[in-house]
Chains A and B, each alone.
Chain A
Amino acid sequence: GQNIDQPTEMTATEGAIVQINCTYQTSGFNGLFWYQQHAGEAPTFLSYNVLDGLEEKGRFSSFLSRSKGYSYLLLKELQMKDSASYLCAVRGSGGSYIPTFGRGTSLIVHP
C-alpha cells in the first residue's frame, strides 16, 4: 500500500519562508510531484523530484530524500496569492505510473 503524510494546515507571514513537509511509504518509487491548488480550482504542477537533492524553480524549491521517504516544498518571499492547498503525490512501482496523493496542506499567508 501507499501512505503519504502532510501537515493539514500551516500559516505564515507575507514575505517569509515556509517549508511544507511530505513523508511517504510506498511500494517502490518512481518520482514525487508537488501541486498547488487554489480553492475550487484545478491543481497545477509545481515540481518533480526523482533523484535525491534540491530542485529550485524561482521562489519555489523542492527537496527529496529517497532513503528517508521524505520531501519538502520550500516557498520563499511569500505572497498573499500563495495561500492555497499544496498536494504531494508519489508514483510507486507498477506499470500504470499513477500517483497517490496526500491529503494536502492548506497554507494561509497573512499580512
Chain B
Amino acid sequence: DGGITQSPKYLFRKEGQNVTLSCEQNLNHDAMYWYRQDPGQGLRLIYYSQIVNDFQKGDIAEGYSVSREKKESFPLTVTSAQKNPTAFYLCASGTGDSNQPQHFGDGTRLSIL
C-alpha cells in the first residue's frame, strides 16, 4: 500500500541536542512538506520541497533544517536553536497540483526532557 511514514512516533530531546525526524513516502509525489501543530493551533508550515535537491522555508523555519536528497525522503532536523520544540510534527506529500489534497503521515510528538 502506498503511504507516508513518519518515525519515531514519540521523541524526546535534551537541552542543546539536535534531533532528526524521519519522513518517507512511496506515493511518487514530487512535493513534500513539514508542519508543526501546537494545541489549539492550526498547522504551521516549517519547510517544503517541490523537487529533489531543492527546498524552501515556510512560515516558521527558524531553528529547523531539512534535506531532500531523494524523492522519497524529507527528514527534518530540530536544532538546539529551536527554543520551544515541544509540538506535534506532521509530514505531508502531494503531487503539487492545485486540486489535489496533501497526504499526511501519522506524526511525531516531540517533547523536551
Of residues 5 to 53 in A, which have CB atoms within 8 Å of B's CB atoms? 8, 30-31, 33, 35, 40-45, 48, 50
Number of interface residues of A (CB under 8 A): 25
Indicate which residue in B33, B42, B48, B96 contacts A87 across the interface (CB closer than 8 Å).
B42
Of residues 67 to 109 in A, which have CB atoms within 8 Å of B's CB atoms? 87, 89, 91, 96-99, 101-104
Known contacts A43-B90, A50-B99; is-contact A102 B42 (Cβ 8 Å):
yes
Give chain B nearest CB distance to A8 CB in angstroms.
Answer: 7
Number of interface residues of B (CB under 8 A): 26
Q: Are B98 and A42 in contact (CB under 8 A)?
A: no
Indicate which residue in A35, A87, A97 contacts B98 across the interface (CB closer than 8 Å).
A97
Q: Mark B37-57, 1 if CB is under 8 A from A, else 0.
A: 000111111001010000010
At the interface with chain A, which of B13-21, B62-70, B72-80, B104-112? B104-112
Per the bound structure, the CA–CA distance linking A33 and B35 in Å amounts to 16
Per the bound structure, the CA–CA distance linking A41 and B4 in Å amounts to 13
Give chain B nearest CB distance to A64 CB in angstroms.
Answer: 13
Q: Are A98 and B107 in contact (CB under 8 A)?
A: no
Q: Are B50 and A96 in contact (CB under 8 A)?
A: yes
Closest to B33 in A: A98
Per the bound structure, the CA–CA distance linking A44 and B50 in Å amounts to 21
Per the bound structure, the CA–CA distance linking A99 and B56 in Å amounts to 15
* Interface: B102 (CB within 8 A): yes
Which B residues are within 8 Å of any A CB, using their own CB? 33, 35, 40-45, 48, 50, 56, 58, 88, 90, 96-99, 101-107, 109
Closest CB pairs A-B (n = 9): A42-B104, A45-B101, A101-B42, A101-B43, A103-B42, A30-B98, A97-B98, A42-B106, A43-B104
